[in-house]
Amino acid sequence: MVHALEEIKPTLIPLGLLIDLRPLLGRWPVEVAWGNEYCEVGRLTDAPEGLADDESANHAINESVYQGWFELEEGIRFSLFYSWDTPNEMLEFLHEEWDGFVHLEEEGSQAAKSAWALANADARVRVRVDMLINRWRKLK
């Protein structure tokens, strides 16, 4: 990843911007939501591979700052919701798209199904993903 940042640096104009937008693992909450209400029913478990990817990205950014390539101008964290009509749709998505990064234990899966079944008819299942967006300025 440090190599990728080193390759990007010459393509940016002097004082150009680099945007770092990515999810940050951290046992994301699984929620059942309806109307203006929600309840947390479990948390996703971070897989070692996903945590290693986060660590690698953080290391690369820190190394680029140490090398004097970029300077942080602004950074924020925010929540992004992935939402499904049913718990089964969520479980299918987790298995197909996020396998190797996160997973939901059986206890959390059953809790989501129970809470969804007891909630209002418009209830949805969602995962609250912790996101990072940083704006880095290329140094001269």
Contact criterion met (CB below 8 Å) for 130 and 12: no
Give me the pLDDT at residue 1, please. 67
Say how far apart CA 93 and CA 104 lie, in whole Å: 11
- Domain limits of the chain? 2-138
Contact criterion met (CB below 8 Å) for 25 and 102: yes
3-31: pLDDT as tens digits: 788 888 888 898 899 999 999 999 999 99
Q: Rounded to the nearest 5 degrees, what angle is found at the Cα of 65, between the Cα atoms of 63 and 68? A: 110
pTM above 0.75, yes or no: yes
Show the tokens assigned to 48. Answer: 């070692």
Contact criterion met (CB below 8 Å) for 1 and 57: yes
Show the tokens assigned to 134. Answer: 């940083």
> Given a cut of 80, is residue 140 above it in pLDDT?
no
Say how far apart CA 96 and CA 26 lie, in whole Å: 20
